[in-house]
Structure 1
Amino acid sequence: MVAVTFLFLCFWAAGVHGDLSRIQVTLEPDRPSLRVQLSHTAHLRCCYSATRGAVETTWFISIQTVNGTSALQGVDRRDNRVTVDEGNLTAAGVMCHTLILKEARLNDSGLYQCFLNHSALRHSVYTHGTFLQVYRPMVKILDISESTKNRILTAEGMLLMVVVLLHGTMMLCKTKKLNQLKKKRVKKEEENIYEGLNLEECCSTYDQIQRSLVQGPYQDVGNMIMEEEIQLEKP
């Protein structure tokens, strides 16, 4: 019984010692994405915290292939454009590795991850990674500064205001001229109406009518008296 208990304690101690000797890695959040202009420098970081020792870090890049799948390959450290540091330990106990990629090219775009490996690790670990996008800048047809753009916009606004004022003034002048022509036309038509009438003839005709209306009754009475006198003088 004592021998069995002794063996059990030995196996338990060996297991505990094995677990204590293993390294535990905790991944820190990585920057999700990074956009870099063509021929500029890109700085990529991966951070983690490891207990009971350090781990080996290798940079990998995942590239999209033509058929839509992703291919994982190691970053070529022999490239003169690539610089990888040995890692910096922060005060909080976080280890950060930096990958510097100079003169970035379009085919450098992809997901960059750190591969963490050690014999004391249960499983190898990949960091979350940062997606690098290298873009070609848009070529400006006219390279104009902001101050020049503001001057151009101000000049366009003033020119537009002048055009509106000129158009409004021309419309007012045109309306005024049309009103004057209309008044002249009405006045000329009135003059034409009175030109067709002879005032002397109108007055003479009016006098004749009045004279005939006044003299008519008295003339008949006079004629009757003269006829009676003629009849009385006859024997």
Structure 2
Amino acid sequence: MGTITNVLLCSFVVGIAQTTVVLEPDRPFLQVQVHHPEAFLECCYKTSENSVKVLWIKQDANKTLSSPVQLTQRVKNVITDSCGTLTFKPVELHDTGFYQCKLAGNGFNLLSHGTYLQVYQPMKKTINLSESAKNRILTAEGVLLLLCVLAPSVTLLCKSKRLKQLEKKKAKKEEENIYQGLNLDECWSTYDRIERSQPHGQYQDVGNIKEEEEQIQLEKP
């Protein structure tokens, strides 16, 4: 019975002590470039206690291990009346992680919500070009783009012109093939035979056949 009473009394005392410390909202995320001159994390609170210890705990990027932050000449913990500030001068790539501050005092032990610090490394330029070189490259790209647009059109025009010339040559060759091998004298003699074989009327115009009097016998009326 006495043990239960002691536990309840301790819990009551701790509860009263914890109510004397109120945590301020933390910055949830901070992104800093590597080798930046300075970065800092704050853990602020309100309390009526005379002395509050502020310790920093780091959880790695994989969120598997938590360990106290090792303070060095580069990493320092600055404590004021109502805030604990963890500073990095300068920032290094391995500083990336989730940081929480631990408030400890007379009968209380609290952890802040924490801040995730992300240290990034900017992409390096593979080719360092001057502005004049960039302008020349842009001009060349514009010319190439114009050629890519005009070249197909010119090619189509040339092809259509060539096809028209080939069609004209083909039509001309076909006309030549029609009359090829024909003898005009034979054509006229054939025409004459056709004309002579046709029956003539009772009368015949003598004035138009003077040249053929010897070959053709005139019909008498």
CA contact (8 A) 2:42 2:85 kept: yes
Percent identity of equivalent pairs: 47
Query: Considering only CA atoms, is the larger Rg found in Structure 1 or Structure 2?
Result: 1
Structure 2 alignment gaps of length 5 or more: 1-13, 204-216
Question: 1:8-44 CA deviation, whole Å, 9 max, x = no partner?
Answer: xxxxxxxxxx998886111122122222222223221
Task: Indicate conservation of the 8 Å contact 1:23/1:51, yes or no.
Answer: no
Counterpart of 2:27 in structure 1: which amino acid? R
How far does the alpha carbon of each residue in 1:154-189 deviate from its partner, in whole angstroms, 9 at most, with x for none? 642442122220221122112211111111111111
The DSSP-based 3-state class of the residue aligned with 1:206 is helix
> For structure 1, which segment, 106-115 or 148-157, has the greater mean C-alpha deviation from structure 2 after superposition?
148-157
What does residue 104 of structure 1 align with?
A: 91
Residues paired across the two proteins, number: 192
Give distance in 1, aligned partners of 2:152 and 2:15. Answer: 90
1:46 maps onto 2:37 in alignment: no
Which residue of structure 2 lines up, in the alignment, with residue 141 of structure 1? Answer: 126
Residue aligned with 1:124, SS = strand
Contact 2:18-2:108 within 8 A present in 1 as well: no
Code of the residue aligned with 1:47 in structure 2: it is C
- After superposition, the CA RMSD in angstroms is 3.5
Q: Secondary structure at the match of 2:58?
A: strand
Q: Which amino acid aligns with 1:164?
A: V
1:35 aligns with 2:22: no
Name the aligned partner's letter for residue 176 of structure 1.
Answer: K
Task: Give distance in 2, aligned partners of 1:21 and 1:212.
Answer: 144
Gap regions ≥5 residues in structure 1: 1-17, 89-94, 223-235
Q: Contact between 1:23 and 1:52, CA under 8 Å: does it hold in 2?
A: no
**1:184-234 deviation line (CA, Å, top 9, x unaligned):** 11111112211322223212211112112236999xxx9xxxxxxxxxxxx
Q: What is the TM-score with the length of structure 1 in the denominator?
A: 0.66
Residues 61 and 75 in structure 1, CA contact (< 8 A), matched pair in contact too:
no
Query: Which segment is superposed worse, 173-182 or 127-136?
Result: 127-136
Rounded Cα–Cα distance in structure 1 between residues aligned with 2:43 and 2:17: 24
CA change 1:152–1:112 in 2 (3 A) is: same
Which amino acid counterpart does residue 185 of structure 1 have in structure 2?
K
Equivalent position to 1:124, from 100, 109, 118? 109
The residue that corresponds to 2:73 in the other structure is 80
Deviation at 1:123, TM superposition (A): 2.1
Judge conservation of contact 1:22–1:52 (CA < 8 Å) in 2: no
Residue 4 of structure 1: aligned partner? none
Q: TM-score, normalised by structure 2?
A: 0.70
Counterpart of 1:71 (choices 66, 69, 79) is 66
